[in-house]
Amino acid sequence: MDDQPRLMHSSHGVGMAGHPGLAQHMQDSTGGADGEGRKQDIGDILQQIMTITDQSLDEAQARKHALNCHRMKPALFNVLCEIKEKTVLSIRGAQEEEPPDAQLMRLDNMLLAEGVSGPEKGGGSAAAAAAAAAAGGGGPDNSAEHSDYRAKLSQIRQIYHTELEKYEQACNEFTTHVMNLLREQSRTRPISPKEIERMVNIIHRKFSTIQMQLKQSTCEAVMILRSRFLDARRKRRNFNKQATEFLNEYFYSHLSNPYPSEEAKEELAKKCSITVSQVSNWFGNKRIRYKKNIGKFQEEANMYAARTAVTATNVSTHGSQANSPSTPNSAGEYCNKSTHKQQMCSFFIGLQ
DNA sequence: TCGCATGATTCAAA
DNA sequence: TTTGAATCATGCGA
């Protein structure tokens, strides 16, 4: 409200004396009437506009109507709009220019990647599957966690879309309301279509900020969910007895070279229903722990050695020694010789 | 609750 | 990239 009298005053000064387009506007609308008379007319209109707020509602309505019907009104409003455009709005417009928001793009990309925004692809099952793979196992516990993750992600997705829809609806409603209001007001005060457009942009920006907050909190929720799910990686689950036996069997039967090749790891992983990385971890831990405390593992080693001997005897009795990864003879078959030759020697020597 | 066992992770070295 | 070593985090039995 404070701006209006100032604007009008400024318009009066500039528009009356200095605005080059005014004469033309007036020419257009008056057909070249007397200059002094026109000034008087415009002065009257401005005076009426400025005092309209001091009047009662009825008086103001009547005055408004009279103003709207005034022959000079369109020309005057055009001039005022132009002045406004050149002064206030151009400054504000320059200030409002913003670079494309990188943070918003990042949020959008993340929500898309997590399957929260964009077309539904099974509620982010790809991300869940990746997380499950990282968790290192396909056991029943994992599939339960997987579906739990999916369900929670789906919830987040649903909330996100509901809220987004609400914001969009509110934005549209508010924009329409403001546009109607400005259009209505443009009958009594100089508001150009460009100004309305700017106002719409401002509203959209404000709502984008709210949307960004929604996206940000959704991302946070996904990150929390994801980290909780991925934390399951650290949840230690003991391998089942059979898996440990397979691993130990291989380890003790290859004690001279406990470095399974990729093929051997894959086979062991398959037999133990664990991942190749878990096999690698297991052998890594086993080697170091065995080396650190041979005495402690001696009994275990003897037991597996005896078992291997029995197996070997049985196999030779049945005339077949082929393809048993648990027999020492098969070491060469599974061992990546070029990679582990040195380690084999050092490990073996280290144990003697 | 404590201590040990054990799978996972991290980081440096080869 | 793989491995060793240290460490973390959790399971589990006493």
Q: Which nucleotides of B are covered by protein (CB under 7 A)?
A: 5-10
Radius of gyration, CA atoms only, chain A: 41
Which 180-239 positions of A have CB less than 7 A from strand C?
A: 231, 234-238
The answer to whether A253 touches A326, Cβ cutoff 8 Å, is: yes
CA distance A22 to A41: 13
Q: pLDDT, tens digit, for every residue of A47-63?
A: 877 777 777 788 878 87
Q: How far is CA A165 from CA A179, A215, A231, A283, in A?
A: 21, 13, 33, 53
Domain spans, chain A: 102-117+142-234, 241-315
Q: Return the nearest residue to C9, CA–C1'.
A: A234
Q: pLDDT, tens digit, for every residue of A142-182?
A: 555 566 667 777 878 888 888 888 888 998 999 999 888 88
A260 touches strand B (CB under 7 A): no
Q: Which amino acid is at A204?
A: H
> Does A216 have pLDDT greater than 80?
yes
- Predicted model pTM: 0.44
**What is the percent of chain A where pLDDT is above 90?**
1
Q: pLDDT, tens digit, for every residue of A262-301?
A: 888 888 888 888 888 888 889 989 988 888 878 778 778 8
CA distance A107 to A123: 18
Element (H, E) at A205: helix A193-230
A289 touches strand B (CB under 7 A): yes
The answer to whether A137 touches A274, Cβ cutoff 8 Å, is: yes
Q: Return the nearest residue to B5, CA–C1'.
A: A238
Superfamily of domain A241-315: Homeodomain-like (1.10.10.60)
Residues 6 or more apart whose CB falls under 8 angstroms from that of A212 comprise A101, A103, A104, A107
CA distance A246 to A267: 10
- Which of A18-27, A152-161, A202-211 is predicted most confidently? A202-211
Provide the CA A106 to C1' B2 distance, Å, integer: 48
**pLDDT of amino acid A40:** 76
Output the CA torsion sign for A44, A50, A55, A57.
positive
CA distance A45 to A41: 6
Provide the CA A302 to C1' C14 distance, Å, integer: 27
Q: How far is CA A107 from CA A92, A211, A231, in A?
A: 28, 11, 23
The more confidently predicted of residues A259 and A113 is A259
